[in-house]
Amino acid sequence: MSVKEKIVDDIAILYISGKLMGGKETDEVHDHIKGLINDDIKKVVLDLSKVKWMNSRGLGMLMGSYSSLVKVNGFIKLVGVAEKIKSLLMISQIISFFETYETVDRAAASFRK
């Protein structure tokens, strides 16, 4: 699993690829976001189009990231959410809290509105 970061103005775009199935690797994403918050970057776009698998632990990471950002008046938006991940978000009833977009550009643009 890898996390690639790109900063555009005050928005951090994180490209995640691989599996979000728990463990140290998955925690890395939330830690990365905590690092961004420390550096005062609170708008995060998470590109999940290259995420092959996610389970309840990966979900926990997403929710943790959401909570951390919301606590500092930040926000997280998702891009490229696969069907399986979408259904996980639906079952745990948290899909309504996440905004999902088709592309990174659209997600970033929505921050500027």
Partner 1 sequence: MKDKSIETEVQHLKRAVEELAFLNELTLAIGSSFNSEEIMQTLIRKSISQIKAEQGAICLVEDEADKEMKTLVRTMVSHGSGKPFRLDDCFLGWMQINKKSLNITDPHNDDRFKGVKWDESVRSVACVPLIVKSKLTGILSMFNKIKSKSFTDDDLRLLSIIAGQSAQIVETARLYEEEQALYLLQEEGRLAREIQIKLLPKSDPDIPEYDIAGTSRPAMSVGGDYYDFIPINDNRIAICLGDISGKGIPAALLMANLQATVRAQSLSGNSPRECVNRSNVLLYRSTDTDKFATLFYAILDMENNAFCYSNAGHNPPVFIKKDKSPVLLIPNRPILGFLDNIEYCDETTSIEPGDLFVIYSDGVTEAVDEFENEFGEDKFIKLLNEYKGLSAKEIIRIVLQAVDEHSKNVQQTDDITLVVIKRK
* Residue choice 5, 8, 9, 56 for contact with partner 1 (CB under 8 A): 56
* Residue choice 36, 44, 45, 61 for contact with partner 1 (CB under 8 A): 61
CA separation, residue 8 to residues 13, 61, 91 (Å) = 8, 24, 33
Q: Tell me the H-state helices in 5-103.
A: 24-38, 56-71, 83-91
* Residue choice 4, 92, 102, 103 for contact with partner 1 (CB under 8 A): 92
106 binds partner 1 (CB under 8 A): no
Tokens found for residue 26:
């998955």
* Residue choice 91, 102, 105, 106 for contact with partner 1 (CB under 8 A): 91
- If we measure between CA atoms, which residue out of 30, 36, 29 comes closest to residue 8? 36
Residue 33 or 79 having the CB closest to partner 1: 33
